[in-house]
């Protein structure tokens, strides 16, 4: 007798149970069905009806897919539920690590005066806008209370290089503590590069510090978006980018852009600028509805529809570049694709559930205040202290991270129970952004049908799915993007 069962033993019987899944209409008669971890299937309405009403025959082309994607499990099949549980565990594994990203606002001072910037001051007053050594020490104490084995410290501003002595101080202390506790430490400085000197860059090289730099596009656009004395922001950027790559390392420098009204008709030029300067991708970001961007009416200068057009045009151009043999990625798309094609969560704070505020990222502000996210401190600059969790000078770790506002916000915005999100097939690709909802609608859940966050992300999900359905080459390209780290 063979120790293996014959093939017939594994044949589909047609008797099945449903596993948890959601579905959402795409267009016309097409529906997207996704399980708890985002594995998906596109079916027509009658197939969906048959699937739910257990009339789908094993000979139907979608039957095998529905089994493989864990939308159904044959009677007696225990493996499907166990596999789904394993994948669910993988999806949420970041939760047990708690806070990973710790942002230190070393100063609010900045040499730029960008219209859209949420947080910067044109001031020489170090006492008023710089973090002190005592605040830095107490913030570090908080960082090393996190149970996460991997700790990331990101220096933000203002322009953090204006308080570089404090960066040196924090880096040296953090390295000692990380080594003593066996933690992996990653350090990033978010900078315009305008004030980067050889000495600073050599320090970054010697301490394995990554640089996240700002580039908004071609010279005239960048200088318009990012005014500074001398009107030479772009020229300084290009010169210092070259120096940074030579000294710190070519792959140790990444760039971020901000989309203003002036950027909208120029997405292809912006992408060309990134390609020309040797970057491997771009993050097409919309402005956040916070701080000076709202105060100076820059945020209202364009709406979601306009931004979506900008994004879609840019993505189309990037696809064309790839088809012409120039490898280049759009990073927001890549994050979503990772959620679509894998069970791993890339950990992007705006697309996490539970929301990433506090439990994935936290901000130690220049004045000792602790905020639940970068957006929370931007909101505070508009006199809205809703997401101020406390102060490193006055509060304990427990008081800050068990802050009632933080906990209730995480609970209320949880997408598996939030109205509309809980039944949305895009939910596994999406996330909760309660600070955005609070800033725009005044409550942390918001009205989903009218939400710009929802509108923007649903439009992107639909667009990506449509692109892949229309062109198998695009799907192959997107799968390659999602597989890259």
Residues at the interface with another protein (CB under 8 A): 17-23, 25, 36, 48-49, 52, 81-82, 84-86, 88-89, 92-93, 95-96, 419-420, 423, 447-450
Q: What DSSP element (H or E) covers 391?
A: strand 388-391
Tell me the C-alpha distance between 107 and 93, whole Å: 34
Contact criterion met (CB below 8 Å) for 148 and 100 = yes
**DSSP per-residue string spanning 83-151:** HHHHHHHHHTGGGGG---EEEEE-BSB-S---TT-SS-B----HHHHB--HHHHHHHHHHHTTS--SEE
Q: Do the beta carbons of residue 467 and residue 316 sit within 8 Å?
A: no
Tokens representing 269 are 């030029």
Shortest reach from residue 197's CB to another protein, in Å: 46
Considering the complex, state which of residue 92 and residue 328 has its C-beta at the smaller distance from another protein.
92
Task: Tell me how far apart the alpha carbons of residues 352 and 33 are, in angstroms, rounded to a whole number.
Answer: 20
How many other CB atoms are there within 10 angstroms of residue 264's CB atom?
Answer: 15
25 or 297: CB nearest another protein: 25
Residue 262: burial class (beta carbons within 10 Å; 0-12, 13-18, 19+): middle
Q: How far is the CB of 397 from another protein (least distance, A)?
A: 18
Min dist. Cβ of residue 33 to another protein (A) = 9
- Give the nearest distance from C-beta 49 to another protein in angstroms: 7
C-beta closer to another protein: residue 20 or 230: 20
State the nearest-atom distance from the C-beta of 189 to another protein, in Å. Answer: 33
Nearer to another protein, 130 or 452 (CB): 452
CB of 84 to another protein, least distance (A): 5
Q: Considering beta carbons, is residue 68 or 86 the nearer one to another protein?
A: 86
Nearest distance from C-beta of residue 401 to another protein, angstroms: 14
**CB of 157 closer than 8 Å to CB of 190:** yes
Which of 85, 127, 81 lies closest to 108, judged by CA?
127
- Distance between CA 399 and CA 358 in Å, rounded? 12
Nearer to another protein (CB atom), residue 301 or residue 420: 420
Kindly list the distances between the CA atom of residue 77 and the CA atoms of 38, 55, 84, 213, 438, in Å, as whole numbers in the listed order: 21, 18, 12, 51, 45
- CB closer to another protein, 70 vs 329: 70
- 447 or 479: CB nearest another protein: 447
Q: In angstroms, what is the minimal distance from the CB of 346 to another protein?
A: 19
């Amino acid at each position: 007798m063979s120790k293996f069962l014959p093939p017939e033993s594994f044949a589909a019987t047609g008797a099945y149970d449903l596993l948890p899944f959601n579905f959402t209409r795409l267009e016309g008669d097409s529906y997207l069905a996704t399980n708890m971890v985002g594995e998906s299937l596109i079916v027509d309405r009658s197939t969906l009806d048959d699937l739910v009403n257990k009339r789908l025959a094993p000979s139907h082309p979608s039957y095998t897919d529905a089994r493989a994607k864990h939308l159904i499990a044959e009677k007696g099949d225990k493996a499907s539920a166990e596999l789904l549980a394993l994948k669910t565990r993988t999806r949420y594994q970041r939760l047990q690590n708690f806070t990973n990203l710790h942002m230190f606002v070393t100063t609010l001072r900045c040499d730029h005066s960008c219209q859209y910037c949420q947080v910067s001051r044109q001031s020489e007053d170090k006492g008023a806008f710089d973090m002190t050594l005592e605040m830095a020490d107490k913030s570090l104490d908080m960082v090393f209370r996190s149970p996460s084995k991997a700790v990331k410290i990101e220096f933000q501003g203002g322009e953090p290089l204006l308080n570089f002595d404090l960066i040196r101080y924090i880096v040296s202390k953090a390295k000692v503590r990380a080594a003593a506790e066996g933690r992996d430490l990653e350090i990033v400085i978010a900078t315009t590069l305008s004030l980067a000197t050889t000495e600073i860059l050599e320090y970054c090289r010697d301490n394995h510090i990554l640089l996240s730099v700002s580039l908004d596009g071609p010279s005239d656009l960048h200088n318009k978006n990012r005014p500074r004395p001398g009107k030479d922001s772009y020229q300084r950027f290009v010169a210092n980018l070259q120096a940074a790559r030579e000294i710190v390392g070519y792959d140790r420098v990444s760039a971020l852009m901000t989309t203003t009204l002036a950027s909208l008709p120029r997405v292809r030029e912006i992408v060309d600028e990134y390609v020309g300067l040797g970057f491997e991708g771009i993050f097409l970001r919309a402005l956040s509805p916070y701080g000076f961007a709202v105060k100076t009416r820059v945020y209202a200068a364009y709406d979601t529809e306009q931004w979506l057009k900008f994004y879609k045009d840019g993505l189309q151009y990037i696809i064309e570049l790839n088809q012409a043999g120039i490898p280049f990625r759009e990073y927001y798309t890549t994050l979503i694709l990772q959620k679509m094609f894998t069970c791993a969560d890339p950990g992007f704070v705006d697309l996490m559930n539970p929301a990433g505020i506090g439990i994935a990222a936290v901000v130690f502000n220049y004045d000792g205040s602790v905020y639940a996210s970068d957006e929370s401190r931007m909101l505070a600059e508009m006199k809205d202290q809703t997401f101020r969790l406390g102060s490193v000078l006055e509060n304990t770790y427990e008081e800050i991270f068990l802050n009632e506002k933080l906990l209730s916000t995480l609970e209320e915005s949880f997408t598996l129970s939030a109205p509309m999100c809980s039944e949305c097939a895009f939910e596994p690709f999406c996330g909760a952004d309660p600070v955005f909802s609070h800033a725009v609608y005044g409550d942390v859940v918001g009205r989903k049908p009218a939400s710009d966050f929802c509108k923007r992300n649903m439009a992107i999900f639909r667009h990506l799915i449509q692109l892949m359905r229309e062109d198998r080459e695009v799907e192959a390209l997107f799968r390659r993007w999602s597989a890259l780290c």
